[in-house]
Chain A
């Protein structure tokens, strides 16, 4: 099986038909997302599902990847915060350097 549709077609239980179509829709939406993290996560989840359906991965391994992806999502949020923190830090250090190298010496000369 090389695609998600084939993998999902293996499930014939009618009670999960809605879940199947919802899952497929969410994967396709994720793959079409402009955010690299979301796109990559959707592509990986699709691949894991195909690997499980082909018998190449166990349930334990699949569960590990899924629970790890939830931690990755936390790190994605942390990395966004980091970018903001880095900007604030750069601004404050640069301001201090400017004060130290340009402003204060001239200020003291002027006094």
Chain B
């Protein structure tokens, strides 16, 4: 009976954890702590049944449910906060990618009357840095939402195309830069301004 109840309660945690955006390591940690807390509760509950305090428990049942309530509230709060933190950090990462991409375009836009100075090493380093940002952002996304990973992958592809064009021309026309800015805003708005 106790084991059945324990399995049923743990089943809810499994269901909740499986559907949230957490890494495998985070899920394991939460699951381990949840299991530990529930184990403490069920052990305590079993002990109370066997002790002379049984009558007290019947008279004041709420007193003996405190550890369980703590466990429930703690884990529910943890699940809620993890979901919220993951969502907002993901949005922040996307915002950073958009800014980095837009700054990159702005940085390589031709200025009328100014000579184009080309520094290959600096360009390579700039491209590598932003490429790494895309890679990190994709890796940080949970597998629970594959469309978000797909979105970042496609946006990284957009960036690589722009980098290839700059590598070829060394300088972008102001008209292209203005059109590209609009296009990138349209791209990132698809994810950042979800209904």
Size band of the A side of the interface?
35 or more
Residues 5-46 of A contacting B (Cβ, < 8 Å): 37, 40-41, 44
B183 touches A65 (CB 8 A): yes
Interface residues on chain B, number (Cβ under 8 Å): 52
Q: For the complex, is A1 an interface residue (Cβ under 8 Å from B)? A: no
| From A57, A69, A99, contact of B176 by CB (8 A) | A57
Contact in complex: B147, A85 (CB < 8 Å)? yes
Interface SS of A by simple majority: helix
Binds A, one of B23-31, B66-74, B128-136: B66-74
Asked if A108 and B195 sit within 8 Å, CB to CB, the answer is no
Chain A residues 84-102 with CB under 8 Å of chain B are 85-86, 88-89, 92-93, 95-97, 99-101
B165 touches A61 (CB 8 A): yes
Max chain B C-beta neighbours (<10 A), residue from A68, A76, A99, A105: A68
**A interface with B by C-beta (< 8 Å):** 37, 40-41, 44, 47-48, 51, 56-58, 60-61, 64-65, 67-69, 71-72, 74-76, 78-79, 81-83, 85-86, 88-89, 92-93, 95-97, 99-101, 104-105, 108-109, 111
Interface residues of B (CB under 8 A from A): 5, 9, 12-13, 15-16, 18-21, 61, 65, 68-69, 72-73, 75-76, 79-80, 83, 144-148, 150-151, 154-155, 157-158, 161-162, 165, 168-169, 172-176, 179-180, 182-183, 186-187, 190-191, 194-195
